[in-house]
Amino acid sequence: MSDNMLSLYKEGANKIEPETELTRWRLSTVEGRQKWYYVPENEECAREQNALEAYTLGLNTSKFFPELPKASTAQEAVLKAIKFFSGVQAEDGHWPAECSGVLTLAPGLLIACYVAKVSLPEEVKKEIHRYIRSRQLPEGGWGLHLREQQPTIFGTALNYIAMRILGYGPDHPDIVRARISLHKKGGALVTCIHLGKVWLAIVNVYSWEGMNAPFPELWLLPTWVPGHPSTYWCHARHILLAMTYCQLNRLSAEEDELIRSLRQELYVEDYSSIDWPAQKNYIYEADLQTPHTLVLDVFFALFNLYDRYHLTSLRKKATAELYEQIKADDIFSNSTNSSPAGIQNNPEYNTCLKKAHSFFKCSQIVDNPPNYQRYYRQMNKGGFPFSNRDNNWIVSDGTAEAIRALMLLEEQCPFIEDHIAPQRIFDAVNVILNMRNSDGGFSSYETRRGSWLLEAVNCAETYGKKKLSGVICKIQIGDPDWNVAWIQAQEMTSYNYLHMLALKMFQKLYDTLHKALQYCRNTQKAGGSWLGRWGVCFIYGTWFALEAFACLGYTYHNGLACNEVTKACAWLVSKQMKDGGWGEEFESYKLSKYIQHTISQIHQTAWALLGLMAAKYPDVHVLERGIQVLIDKQQAIGDWPQGDIAIGFYKAGTLHYSAYRNIFPIYALARFTHLYPDNPLASQHLKNGPINNFKEGQTKKH
């Protein structure tokens, strides 16, 4: 893949000039809540644009971050990076960064606003339009995700509708190109996945009769009944809730001139002549990642039959239950629905670290939602959220990493005096213990509830099965990186908070740690790697697994290590590229096997180095080659260039996390400087003290 292709993931397939004056955008952050707002040209800006805003918008940042000399050592590179990274911290203590990738989310927002008659500021609409245009493929359509180079019906239809909602007429050149692309594939009637059909029906450009009937009465059955929605993974459960409720109530936009026009534009056939019931199982091949099983088709046939003769009273009761579940989630999530190391001795960063510590403290969930078990939620008191505190959905690895960071800050930063209460550490440990699966592994949001048989009725259609991606849409399975975050946090907890936890849960902690490590042993691939299920992919999983083994003392000693660690390190070394870095393609997810990238990637190079260093891999030359790649690719202001996609999910999904390119190189460079302070590539000790409190002259030998 060429460097030009990699740039597509940052700027899109088309370089589109801004439609607003970017210097007038401001970002407000309060306890993790981010809100961009535009200061109109006829108003005076209350403050100057800051470094975070300018950097995020791609503006000139020279007045904030002067160009610095090229680093020659890991120490110089990490200090250069930390100086930059501390400059893009938000006022409330966190680091905002772009999370994008699903190209149907922005259209969904616009459709919801259009149907609900909610107006958006003109400047917001202009920039959404610019984003949509920037992601339009040369053929004229859109895919589902950033990584796709071929249009889908789902992606093209929704983005087409979004552009029309934004006020662009049917003769706009980009809309003409999109319509030609759509019609070449047979129009929207060659239709998309079930979720896409629901969106089209909500816009009132597709009939609710053109999709398989739901079975809402399933929500009324006891939870022990096989296939009960309470056993679905939380995202699948809540998407199903919303789709089913909309379908039952035939929620659609009021017919207007735009909708009448769209009915003619989206289809090759005359809209009034379409046989809608015949379209129920008709899905365009490029949109279909998970074909229907025979079992699923049988269930759909039964649901369609029952829908014709259902009991009205029972259907009303089921609909009311759906609405009750939706209302509860809105209440629980406030209608949002689902750290640098080694600088604690430098006063320049005291404020930065204090703000980060304060943000962690205010982000913890301090109590469970009311009557949460009634709504199939799991306890979350003490956890840390995937998004912000308002969102209220905690994740196991985020909770583990957060308490680990909190304890590090409080242990190593004497200027932080307002420590978190020990009871809150106990609550965090307790909530993660509650998320352990029976096999010793940990899931993300909730424990595994359903059986593998649910995959036979996986109706997600666009996301993959376990055989293809390792994660399935109906149930949640464990993952090495969730396990490892937990093990790392508990390894720290065992030492630093033992006085509090020993009497309450030490034996449970001990058992959990060793069962989690056994889970890692059981899931190692024959070649020595692990399949990660968030970062791409085998490099990511192998790094985390090596961290887990290291936490419990399984590292190299006198050139030897246990079999699992030896195989994992050998596998990582075998994947090192000619330039000294590592790189893995997103296709590793799709094929469930390692696919080498043509270009070494910053984030994957850092992951591989972190894994090898955690294991105390004895061949330092391997590490030096990787560290040199990170040093060489660092840019003048201290950050790193954007590489390829770092996040993948469910076979087809990709996400762009813009902070990964900076966070993980800092981590890897700091660890190298920590472990090898006398290595010429690491340089000597920091001006204000050695990294991670190493004593003068101290070194680690492997």
Q: What is the pLDDT of residues 196-208, one digit of tens each?
A: 899 999 999 999 9
CB atoms within 10 A of CB 151: 27
Return the higher-pLDDT residue of 299 and 288: 299
Distance CA 44, CA 39 (A): 8
CB atoms within 10 A of CB 249: 12
Distance CA 246, CA 480 (A): 37
Q: Residue 627 in contact with residue 609, Cβ under 8 Å?
A: yes
The strand ranges marked E within 40-182 are: 99-100
Q: Which positions are catalytic?
A: 397
Q: Which domains does the chain have, with CATH numbers?
A: 1-96+524-542+561-684 (1.50.10.20), 104-319 (1.50.10.20), 320-523 (1.50.10.20)
Identify the CA nearest to 668 among candidates 580, 608, 617, 625.
Answer: 608
Measured CA to CA in angstroms, residue 536 lies from 274, 288, 668 at distances of: 43, 22, 17
Task: Write the pLDDT tens digit of every residue in 60-105.
Answer: 999 999 999 999 999 999 999 999 999 999 999 999 988 888 898 8
Three-state DSSP at 333 gives: coil
Residues of the chain with pLDDT > 90, as a percent, come to 58
**Helix segments in 166-311, DSSP class H:** 173-184, 194-203, 234-249, 257-265, 294-309
Distance CA 631, CA 69 (A): 12
Q: Give the model's pLDDT for residue 494.
A: 47
Distance CA 591, CA 588 (A): 5
Identify the CA nearest to 427 among candidates 384, 392, 398.
Answer: 384
Q: Which two tokens stand for residue 635?
A: 């840019």
Q: Out of 165-174, 285-294, 376-385, 664-673, which region has the weakest mean confidence (pLDDT)?
A: 285-294
Which phi and psi angles does 306 have, rounded to 5°?
-60, -35
Q: Residue 601 in contact with residue 632, Cβ under 8 Å?
A: no
Q: Name the band, by pLDDT with cuts 50, 70 and 90, for residue 284.
A: confident
Distance CA 136, CA 532 (A): 30
Task: Write the pLDDT tens digit of every residue in 298-352.
Answer: 999 999 999 999 999 999 999 999 999 998 888 877 665 553 345 677 788 899 9
Task: Write the pLDDT tens digit of every residue in 132-179.
Answer: 999 999 999 998 888 778 888 999 999 999 999 999 999 999 999 999
Q: Give the model's pLDDT for residue 567.
A: 98
Q: Name the band, by pLDDT with cuts 50, 70 and 90, for residue 451.
A: confident
Whether residue 257 is predicted with pLDDT greater than 60 in this model: the reply is yes
For the segment 564-586, the average pLDDT, to the nearest whole number, is 97
E strand or H helix that includes residue 2: none
Q: Which two tokens stand for residue 255?
A: 């017919």
Three-state DSSP at 560 gives: strand
Q: Residue 565 in contact with residue 617, Cβ under 8 Å?
A: no
Q: Residue 565 in contact with residue 546, Cβ under 8 Å?
A: yes
What is the residue-wise DSSP string for 552-599?
A: TT-S-BTTB--HHHHHHHHHHHHT--TTS---B-THHHHHTS--B-SS
For the segment 514-529, the average pLDDT, to the nearest whole number, is 93
For tokens 């894994």, the residue is 611
Summary mean pLDDT of the chain = 85
Whether residue 361 is predicted with pLDDT greater than 70 in this model: the reply is yes
Q: Give the model's pLDDT for residue 695.
A: 35
Please report how the helices 620-633 and 74-86 are oriented relative to each other, as an axis angle in degrees rounded to 10. 40
